[in-house]
Chain A
Amino acid sequence: MAVATGTKSVGRAGRETLGSARLREALVGYGFVAIPMGFFLLFFIFPIGYAFYISFFDWGILGKISYLGLQNYKDLWHDDLFWTWPPHRGTAFWNTLYYTAITVPAQMALGLVLALAVNARIRGKSFFRAAYYFPSLTSSAAITAVAIYLLNSGGLLNATLEGIGLGGLIPDQRAWFNDSDTALESIIGLNVWTTSGTIMLFYLATLQSIPTDVYEAAAIDGTSRWRTFWKITFPLLKPGHFFVAVLSVIGCLKLFDQAFIVSGGKGGPAYSTETAVLYLYQTAITDQYWGYAATIGVVLFVFIFLFTLGQRLLFGRAEIGY
């Protein structure tokens, strides 16, 4: 924004006008930002602070019941439905970590493969880019509802498996979302597919920022395609890796909607789809222990924060030179 002030008047009057013009400009800026910032503070920052506050109380439907201090946190430490030691599938926390540990690498790998495919010089590049991104645009609730039908006892997947002679893969309970061995894994498959489009876009952006002379140099040296990818492209994608990893991990640790829809909000067949956020929801809505639910939220927040911090420290700033 060009500021053509202070050029006409010189001297004391001119300097005052210059300062107050900048002030006015600043005020206009703040004025525009004020309303969205107000919403952000009211609906985002304030509830987080309030959740910290609530976690120290026994909080019912109508509000405060009694002050508990750190009792909620102590109860969570001993809560076998939330976590156990040694780690054991079927508790909210370990289910979530297991889900994250498998989904994040799978998502990143699939996203990278798609990005490499779409980045190559092929015909219909824009079509493929749009097609691979499309699942990310759809509502996760709608996709899960359709998946329930596809993975039903007599659904398309079972029919196909039986048709090609792989009927042995079908779980005992026949419906993939109703068998504790395959429920969470089915959600993993679903989410890897839907999110790969977004990850493909991130990697595509990073891929396209790699200067082509690096590849030219490699071609001159006569490197094979695989070596070019593994020794040149992959390391140069480090900013992409870091960014995608952080976002993926945060998103996976907060898994709720698919787990809720698939299990009807109950944590699925034999606790298999019980995730940390779903457990928080059940504690708040079914049991009306809002203070305890806030405690789970705070603990999850701290965990995700420390995890992201750790990733940042381990993998350093995502800056590299060519």
Chain B
Amino acid sequence: MRRRKHGVVRAAAALVGTALVVGVTAGGTSAKTDGLTAKAAPAVTTITLAHWNSSDVELKALRATLAAFSKRNKNIKVNEISLDPYPEGMLARFAARKPPDIFYVDSSYLLDWASQGVLEPIGDDLQKAGFSLNKFYPRLVSAFRYKGQLYGLPKDWSPLAMQVNTAAASKAKIKTPATWSQLKAAGQALKSAGQPPICLPVELARILPFMFQNNGGVLDKAGKKVIVNSSANTNAVATYFGWIQSGIARTPAQLGVGWCGEALGKEKASIAFEGNWVTSFMHDTYPNVKYTTHAMVHNRARGNLGFDVSWSIAKDSKNKAAALTLFKFLEGPVGMKTWTSNVGYLPSRTDVTPPPGRAPYLKEAPYARPWQFAPGFGKVVDTANSELTAAFEGKKSINQALDAIQSAAETALRRGR
């Protein structure tokens, strides 16, 4: 009986051992064979490109752009991977020192990543390669500079604009509002005519343009001082909340939708303030809803936000030269034209014709400030959203909320990252 037991143990050990040996050898052999194949053919560099995926249209457009690149560069193979959630996926790869070579970086966290040293400064490389930055909108490029170095170039961009439902506008007989008082009048006319209201979310990314329009903001021009708790901001926020509380505007939650674009599509809102992404969204999801796009309203000043995303290269990338070649294509006139015409986004280069029907967005370019503050401000934005919601629900005064945001912003500036 002892012998049989021992036999079983020995057999199990032998099986495990064999499995290990076979596995390791197979892995080793495959690595060796790949190397051999690579040596036989002309040197093909494989680079990894990481992105997030908001829609099928975007994925198709990206693949079309990469196909156009592959035709012109047969010795660089691009492996594209989609990460969801994006920042978490990228952080894990940065920490493991095995990042993708080229990837998206949203302007809101570019400064954090640049300050932590995971992005490659490409300004000098682009200069050496003769790649000119002259054709880019300078305001957009400034969002990707940190401490004098350039860490990426915008691949496209979008400001906010005003979308108005045609049917509701004609039934309420409203003219296109251009100022705050005209917006309020239009809202009241819509309400009296029983039409859907304006859609206004309670979040910093939508309230900030209104703060700019009142000469307020979060940081001063130099980006060194926090100016959140100014009276200009208090008045802007009070006006914005006033529109919602008086009933001429509603938040997406109150309308039962996730965002104002959806409200526009479901005709639960007559006026919305969204970016160019709403154009393809409406075209694909709610093609029968007629609406027009107009310039953002203004008050004492014109103010808008420019949301942009860059292509950037990883500091720990092992194929920087190949990645830079792809970068130059994607940010060059041919690559950007392929991308923007397929996906319907606005080019960040002036020498690329934008897709048709987007003129109102382009006209916002001079007034669009980057959606970005300083390193470590991700937390400040979240604090701002929570404080503004608390003030909106009446749990605290607007001044108290702005004071809390002010101190959070000052702490972040002091901490430096």
Contact = CB atoms under 8 A, between A and B. Distances in A.
A60 B256 contact: no
Interface in A277-306: 282-283, 285-288
Given A266-B385, A285-B87, A288-B112, A175 B256 contact: yes
15 contacts: A5-B2, A60-B417, A61-B95, A62-B94, A63-B95, A173-B251, A173-B393, A175-B256, A178-B251, A178-B253, A180-B393, A268-B386, A269-B393, A270-B395, A286-B378
Contact of A61 (B9, B94, B376, B378): B94
Nearest to A175: B253
Nearest to B87: A285
Interface residues of A, number: 36
Nearest to B91: A61
A175 B254 contact: yes
Nearest to A173: B253
A24 B6 CA distance: 9
Chain B, interface residues (CB within 8 Å), range = 20 to 34
A220 B49 CA distance: 78
Given A28-B9, A282-B379, A282-B382, A269 B95 contact: no
Contacts of B2: 4-5, 21
B116 A288 contact: yes
A140 interface: no
A233 interface: no
B118 A61 contact: yes
B1 interface: yes
A62 B118 contact: yes
Given A174-B253, A175-B254, A285-B87, 16 more contacts: A60-B417, A61-B91, A61-B116, A62-B97, A63-B95, A154-B256, A155-B256, A174-B254, A174-B256, A178-B253, A180-B390, A267-B386, A269-B386, A269-B393, A285-B88, A286-B87
A16 interface: no
Contacts of A178: 251, 253
A184 to B, nearest CB: 13
Most buried by B among A4, A5, A24, A288: A288
Contacts of B387: 270
Interface string A19-59: 00100100010000000000000000000000000000000
Instruction: Please report whether the interface of chain B is mostly helix, strand, loop or mixed according to DSSP.
Output: helix
A257 interface: no
Contacts of B253: 153, 173-175, 178-179
B400 interface: no
A28 B11 CA distance: 13
A287 B379 contact: yes
B117 A62 contact: yes
A271 interface: yes
Nearest to B109: A286
Contact of A152 (B88, B116, B256): B256
A286 B382 contact: yes
Contacts of A180: 389-390, 393, 395
A29 to B, nearest CB: 11
B255 interface: yes
A179 B393 CA distance: 8
A21 B113 CA distance: 60
Interface in A138-160: 152-155
Contacts of B112: 287-288
Contacts of A62: 94-95, 97, 116-118
A153 B269 CA distance: 15
